[in-house]
Structures are given as structure tokens and as C-alpha cells.
Amino acid sequence: MTATDTIFTQPPELVKSSLLNRFEPLVLGFIEAARPETSQRDIEIAFVRQMFGFMCLVFAVMLGVRARRAAERDIQARGLDPSQVRWRFEKNCWHRVTTTFGRLAFPVWAYRERSANTTKTRTPAAALDPLHAHCHSSIFLLEREVRLGSDHSFRVAQQLMLFYSNDAVDIEDTTIAAHTYAVGRMVKRHYLYRSREDTMEVLRTRATIDRETGRPILYVSTDGHILRRFIDETTLGAWKNANGLRLWCVDRYTGEIIHIGGEYTWGNCEVVEKIVKELISEGLLPADGDYGDGLVARIAWVTDGAPWFETRVFPLFPNAVLILDPYHAIDHIAKYAVEAFGLNTPKKRAFMRQVREAVLGATGAPKGKPGKRKGRRKRSEQEKAEERQQQPSRARLVTKDAGPILALLRKVATPGRCKETLNSLVGYITRNAYRMDYAR
């Protein structure tokens, strides 16, 4: 492609009139399309698609003009005269970008400098689009891709992008995945976690205190999900691992979550292990909880029952409290219950009620003696917190081990077809029993 036969090589003062000349036939086409037999929806779709094409051209011209002005400014700053400059419009001297209107291309106005000191190709406009080397989406489209990619699976995100752009933006789902990942890599870790000093202040003044050791509790959790990719009418399993890591405390006065930091990553257990080791080396998550200056936190890991935690993560924290996330434990049992009793049957509901009580205790706190009336005086947050600590709580009914759950599984009448599932479930609970002291 050359610039001699395109709008991009015209002098800036002629660009406006050239665009207006190209717009006039569009307007006539719009009026011609407004026939009585044409539905309002079809008129709107045709109008938007035609306008998107024109807007792509206008946007490309704008980007081309910007690139040309950057090049001219650079030439002037270097003191070059026209005889020392040769414009380059070869294929590799154009930028191709997908925008919210569709795909476009424009020359970046690279030029060949020929002077006594050098013969070199320069592209001043490249500095205007620093992300182009990583992804060929406009910044605005990239924002939409990342928003859709964070809220939906990538195939759904791709379909939504296609729908809301009236088929102008047709990208394969891995583009959204790649761009979401690229943007994530540009965010440095210090944006994702509180500083060491800020974390120490939260632990010292606001975090709940471990009754066994008197230390502030810092919770850490990680969980993953295997995403599947749909290509050529087939679904490929084990496509990508998405893992999240989070650090948090619980406010000792209000019970609210205090976010310390966290991140999402594409990667398997090896990537998570690497991140954890980096957090340890950076002092954001000391393996022994010792932040220095006399502050030692109690680390509590809350995870699912994946075996790799025991081989890759837990050995790094020898004194941590290890907790099997109750949600995952109950979810494993619920899948068995569906197989054994049906999706939404009275037997299944009754069984799951027993499971929840075995894991988290009976509903309702035990009754205690009524406390002394406090009157109308407004109590401080600290007084309320101390009161909560003294009151009988539901936690005292929670199980201290996996015994109640295993006993429940042993006595339930299991259909023969579910024996294998039940044995697998009992093995899962037994392996993780040491992490199921929920009362603690």
C-alpha cells in the first residue's frame, strides 16, 4: 500500500473537504434506505454499520494526521531540510488497529534521515502509542475488552463485544484473554498490596487477635479455576488455569474485612508458589509472621483441598494455622448429595441441613443469661467488640474435627451407584481432617 492514492498524503487543509465529499454519498444512501417497508431496527442497524465504516476512516485520518505532525515536529527539532528526508509508506510503516468502530490502518509517517552523520529510519509517532507493541487495540477498545474479560468468560465476552458493536469488532476470544493478561502485567505489585508499613499498622491497631497466642491474625487464601475454550464447535478442556491470591484481616471492632492485597494470575500451582515466595522475600508476607519491631502475626491459610498446597505452599509456613475452606468442604458433599438424592428433593435438603450443622454448628447461638441493660449511653466500638467476645457464640458449637461429618456419611443410606463417589468423598474429608478444626 502506498500513500500516493490515499487521503493520508493530502495536505492537512484538504483533508476536511475530502472527508466531507466522502460523507455526502453516505447521507444520500441513508435517505434512500428509509423506505416504508424497511423496519426501524433494520434502518438503525444499516445506519450504524455504515457510520462505523465512515468513523473508522475519520479516526484513521486523525491518527495519521497526529503521526504526521509528530514526524514534522521531530524533523524540525533535528534541523533537517526536505532533501534529507524520505518518507516511508511500506507495509511495515503502517499501524493496524482494532477500534470500537472496527479495524483501521494509518501510516505512522516514518522517515529516512540522510545526513552527513547518519542514515537512519525514524518513527517519532511510535512513542504516541506505547501499547502497540503489546496489543493492536485502541485504548478505548482495550478498556472494554478488559471490562468484559474480567466480568465474563472469554467466549461470552467475545460474543458480547461482537453484539454491542453491531458486528464491527469481531475478535477471537483469546484476544480478550491476551489483552487482559497484558494489562494485568503492566500493573506493578505495589499497586496491588498495602505497603509493609501500612500492613503493620493494620495488624497492630485493627486486626482481630488470636486467643491462643495474642497475635494479630493475617488470613491468606488462594483458589483456582480451570477455564475451557470453545473452538471449531468443540470444547477443549484444561485450557488455562486462573488463580487468585488474597491477604486480609478482620476488623476487631466492626467485624468488617480489611483488604491487605491480592492478585489474579494465569498460571498453575507453580505460578502461585512463585508469587508466594516473592511476597515472602519482599516482606509483605513473612513466612514466620515476623514483620519486625516486635510485631508477629499469626498466619492463617484458608484454601480448598487441592493436594499441591501441602507440597508447595504449606511447607513455607511451618507455624501457620491451616484451614480447609468450609464452602469447598460443603460443596464437595453437596455434589455427592445430588447424585444420591436428586437435585432438589426433600431428602437432599434434609441431608445438607445436617451437613451444615456438622460443619458449622447448629443454627442459632446458645442462650445465655441476659446482660445488664446499658441504657441510652452510646457505646464505643471497642466496648461493642469486647461485649461480642464475652457473649456465647455460634462458633462454640462448631466441629473441632471431621468426626461428625464422617459419622454422618457413614450412617446415610447410600444407593449402590454412589458407592464410588462416597468413597472418594470420605477420602477427601479424611485427608483434610487436620484442617477442619473450625471451632478453633
* Structure confidence at residue 210 (pLDDT): 94
50-82 pLDDT, tens per residue?
888 899 999 999 999 899 999 999 999 988 888
CA dist 104 and 56 (Å) reads 6
Average pLDDT over residues 208-235: 81
215-226 pLDDT, tens per residue?
999 999 998 877
For residue 373, is pLDDT > 60?
A: no
Helices within 165-195 (DSSP H only): 173-186
CA dist 93 and 1 (Å) reads 10
Residues 408, 411, 415, 418, Cα dihedral to 10°: 40
* Structure confidence at residue 4 (pLDDT): 38
C-alpha cell read off for 195: 505497603
- Other residues' Cβ atoms within 10 Å of the Cβ of residue 77: 9
Residue 187's alpha-carbon distances to 1, 154, 184, 241, in angstroms, are 37, 21, 5, 20
Check residue 79 and report its DSSP letter: T
Contact 218, 298 (CB under 8 A): yes
Sign of CA dihedral 86, 89, 95, 97: positive
Q: What is the mean pLDDT of the chain?
A: 84
* Structure confidence at residue 411 (pLDDT): 85
* Structure confidence at residue 5 (pLDDT): 47
- Other residues' Cβ atoms within 10 Å of the Cβ of residue 349: 11
CA dist 345 and 328 (Å) reads 22
